[in-house]
Amino acid sequence: MSEATLDEVMAVLMARQVRDGDFIAHGASVPLAAAALMLAKELHAPNADFFYQGTITTAERDPAKLMLDIEGIYRSAPAFFGQAQIVDFELRGGGDFQFLRPAQIDRFGNVNTSLVGTLERPRYRFHGIAVADAMTIVDRVCLYVTEHTQRVFAEKLAYITGLGHPGGDAWRRDLDVPGGGPSVVVTPLAILDFDGPDRTMRLREVMAGVTVADVVANTGFELALADDVVEVLPPTHQELTTLRRLDPLATRRLEFREWRDEARARLAAERPIDGSVG
């Protein structure tokens, strides 16, 4: 079998954050997260349920079809939830886990999913939907990014869309919010958590060939270090073969700048005129 590529390694590491029995709110148009979720459900979390595009645990598992074949998603769904229903469900403690990809993250796990640039002169604006609520009411949030630079891991965010653990989570205790906030960050360089002093970000594991110095140099704030920073466990043969079967078009690569054009071309070539995939 060919060696695992970065997109495959990240999908596997993200999948390992899902627990059997989790209820997961899954966002649209995040194929790397979709590949991770479906891999987890296939291998170690068969009893996980998820909300996607108004459906509950649709039977479709191919990330390309999840993005493009909306009619197929609805046909294979055993149940349906509206947006208001899912938020109400999570407010009552039903939300166990969610993947979230921000544009920026700070040492406290605060995230910016709203703009690039400054509030006064933004270069790009994003909707930032389903972020503040996820960071507040979901039990565990796995943040992930496909670029680990000082621009992404910033000392000061251009805008705070969702709160992480400022003040050591005093605000969560004061407001008695049900969620636990961000628990882990998966990047092309490392896995980080929030077990540093006062729940600040901490380096826990590094990717193969990456050093602690590499991660520190590409992080724009002082980073706490685990007592024993270890190398991530590589994907197993089963994880890789299953991932490649579930995502045959490598749709997950749409989230990586260096592979985006290639992934778009592959999707366009495989998409029939009727609008479905495969």
Q: What is the DSSP letter of 162?
A: B
Would you say residue 271 has pLDDT above 80? no
pLDDT tens for 10-21 read: 999 999 999 999
Residue 12 CB neighbours (<10 A) = 25
Residue 135 clears pLDDT 70, i.e. is over it: yes
* Domains in the chain, CATH or no CATH each: 6-270 (3.40.1080.10)
Between residues 107 and 29, the one the model is more confident about: 107
Instruction: Return all residues near 231 (Cβ < 8 A) that are at least 6 apart.
Output: 205, 206, 207, 208
pLDDT, one tens digit per residue, over 224-264 is: 999 999 999 999 999 999 999 999 999 999 999 999 999 99
Which tokens go with 195? 């077990």
Asked if residue 128 has pLDDT above 60, the reply is yes
Inter-residue contact 139 to 188 (CB < 8 Å): no
CA distance 278 to 145: 28
Statement: residue 272 has pLDDT above 80: no
Question: What does the chain come to in residues?
Answer: 278
Whether the pLDDT of residue 78 is over 60: the answer is yes
Cα separation, 230 vs 84, whole angstroms: 42
Res. 67 pLDDT band, cuts 50 70 90: confident
Percent of the chain, pLDDT > 90?
76
Q: Which of 120-124, 201-205, 225-229 is least confident?
A: 120-124
- Cβ atoms 17, 43 nearer than 8 A: no
Q: Which two tokens stand for residue 222?
A: 């002082």
